């Protein structure tokens, strides 16, 4: 018996620790995994951003806010895929909605695409909670053979089990169809080297994931004046004077040229640098 207890103690030392208790008072969580166990890890400090900080994306902002408000009020709402240019406010918009509506019961769960196979566990964990949860996957895309692809398809639309009315999936991606598509896959009149007889159906399979998101929002690169408006907003936020903001114009354009992008992210990064040197 003592030897058996000793063996069990050694085995227990190799097992991953039990997941911590979930802090249901938190506003945002990150899905964590250790071995076969996963849990919701509360995020104590959330990067602050407000809806008013996101400029020149008014149409996308209004649409996403309307969908989120319908979700909070128990009305029909869609899962959302946001695609387009990098740094234009896709993920920031989700965080801003949390800032605006957390007091009304909105909650956020961040999940990596590698953990999308755990969506069924998340759905089970929050099934009886009164809050409304957005499961958020940033920079979503898949390569051939990744396991999370089919799990996400099933959770969006296709599983017999209902995901419940207190969960939506919001995702961002720089790629609309989420998986790479190759020219050879469209050559339906030819047999493929791998023996695929119906390559057109393979293409449809890849496109079908995007189509399971009920709402698509596209984000586009900013024009020069839009970029300068965003720079102005963040310089005011950091306490710059009108004269300092006027003097920053040329350097702001040079900054964007060096970065190869006139995005909201680049505008905010420039404003931080300028304010640090002049305020």
Mean per-residue pLDDT, 190-211? 55
Mean per-residue pLDDT, 218-227? 93
Query: Which helix (H) or strand (E) segment is 169 a member of?
Result: strand 167-173
pLDDT over threshold 50, residue 235? yes
CB neighbour list of residue 51: distance below 8 Å, 6 or more residues apart: 61, 65, 93, 96, 97, 99, 100
3-state helix/strand/coil string of 187-212: CCCCCCCCCCCCHHHHHHHHHHHHHC
pLDDT band at 189 (very low <50, low <70, confident <90, very high): very low
Mean per-residue pLDDT, 95-120? 91
Give me the CATH number covering residue 113: 3.40.50.300
pLDDT over threshold 60, residue 197? no
In a domain, 200, yes or no: yes
What is the structure's pLDDT at 108? 96
In a domain, 19, yes or no: no
243 and 215 part of one domain? no
pLDDT band at 198 (very low <50, low <70, confident <90, very high): very low
248 and 143 part of one domain? no
Rounded distance between C-alpha atoms, residue 120 and residue 76, angstroms = 21
What is the structure's pLDDT at 120? 85
Over residues 173-183, the pLDDT tens digits come to 876 555 455 44
Nearest of 219, 230, 274, 186 to residue 57 by alpha carbon: 219
Domain end position, chosen among 197, 219, 241: 219
Rounded distance between C-alpha atoms, residue 72 and residue 231, angstroms = 33
203 and 101 part of one domain? yes
What is the structure's pLDDT at 147? 60
Mean per-residue pLDDT, 73-93? 91
- Token representation of residue 205: 């399979």
Strands lying side by side in the sheet with 37-42: 37-42, 28-34, 106-110, 132-137, 167-173, 80-84, 215-219
Tell me which residue range forms the domain holding 248.
Answer: 224-278
Rounded distance between C-alpha atoms, residue 135 and residue 107, angstroms = 9
238 and 198 part of one domain? no
In a domain, 20, yes or no: no
Rounded distance between C-alpha atoms, residue 77 and residue 71, angstroms = 5
162 and 253 part of one domain? no
pLDDT band at 160 (very low <50, low <70, confident <90, very high): very low
The number of angstroms, rounded, from the C-alpha of 10 to the middle of its chain's C-alpha atoms is 41
Rounded distance between C-alpha atoms, residue 25 and residue 193, angstroms = 55
112 and 237 part of one domain? no
In a domain, 66, yes or no: yes
In a domain, 23, yes or no: no
Over residues 1-15, the pLDDT tens digits come to 777 777 666 665 555
What is the structure's pLDDT at 117? 82
The count of structural domains within the chain is 2
Three-state secondary-structure class, residue 156:
helix
Domain end position, chosen among 186, 204, 219: 219
Mean per-residue pLDDT, 227-236? 96
120 and 36 part of one domain? yes
In a domain, 134, yes or no: yes
Residue with the larger pLDDT of the pair 132 and 119: 132
208 and 134 part of one domain? yes
pTM of the model: 0.80
186 and 242 part of one domain? no
What is the structure's pLDDT at 224? 95
148 and 165 part of one domain? yes
Average pLDDT, the chain: 82
What is the structure's pLDDT at 141? 72
What is the structure's pLDDT at 15? 55
What is the structure's pLDDT at 25? 92
Mean per-residue pLDDT, 79-105? 92
pLDDT over threshold 60, residue 266? yes
Three-state secondary-structure class, residue 255:
helix
In a domain, 239, yes or no: yes
Mean per-residue pLDDT, 97-120? 91
In a domain, 6, yes or no: no
Over residues 19-54, the pLDDT tens digits come to 678 899 999 999 988 766 788 999 988 888 999 999
183 and 269 part of one domain? no
120 and 197 part of one domain? yes
Domain end position, chosen among 199, 219, 239: 219
The number of angstroms, rounded, from the C-alpha of 227 to the middle of its chain's C-alpha atoms is 23
Helix axes 264-278, 249-259, angle to 10 degrees: 130
pLDDT over threshold 80, residue 150? no
Query: Which helix (H) or strand (E) segment is 42 a member of?
Result: strand 37-42
């Amino acid at each position: 018996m003592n030897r058996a207890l000793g063996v069990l103690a050694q085995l227990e030392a190799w097992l991953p620790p039990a997941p911590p208790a979930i802090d249901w008072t938190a506003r945002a969580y990150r899905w964590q995994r250790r071995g076969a166990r996963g849990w919701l890890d509360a995020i104590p400090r959330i990067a602050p951003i407000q809806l008013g900080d996101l400029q020149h994306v008014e149409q996308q902002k209004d649409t996403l806010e309307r969908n989120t408000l319908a979700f909070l009020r128990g009305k029909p709402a869609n899962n959302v895929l946001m695609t387009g240019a990098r740094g234009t406010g896709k993920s920031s918009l989700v965080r801003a909605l949390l800032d605006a509506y957390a007091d009304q019961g909105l909650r956020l769960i961040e999940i990596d695409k590698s953990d999308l196979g755990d969506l069924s566990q998340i759905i089970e964990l929050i099934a009886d909670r009164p809050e409304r949860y957005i499961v958020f996957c940033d920079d979503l895309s898949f390569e051939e053979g990744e396991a999370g692809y089919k799990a996400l398809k099933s959770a969006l639309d296709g599983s017999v089990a209902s995901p419940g009315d207190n969960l939506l999936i919001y995702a961002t991606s720089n790629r609309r169809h989420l998986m790479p598509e190759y020219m050879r896959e469209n050559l339906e009149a030819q047999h493929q080297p791998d023996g695929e007889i119906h390559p057109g159906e393979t293409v449809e399979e890849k496109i079908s994931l995007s189509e399971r998101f009920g709402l698509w929002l596209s984000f586009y690169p900013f024009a020069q004046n839009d970029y300068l408006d965003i720079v102005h907003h963040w310089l005011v936020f950091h306490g710059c004077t009108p004269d300092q903001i006027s003097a920053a114009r040329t350097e702001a354009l040079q900054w964007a040229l060096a970065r190869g992008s006139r995005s909201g992210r680049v505008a905010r990064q420039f404003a931080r640098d300028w304010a640090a040197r002049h305020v």
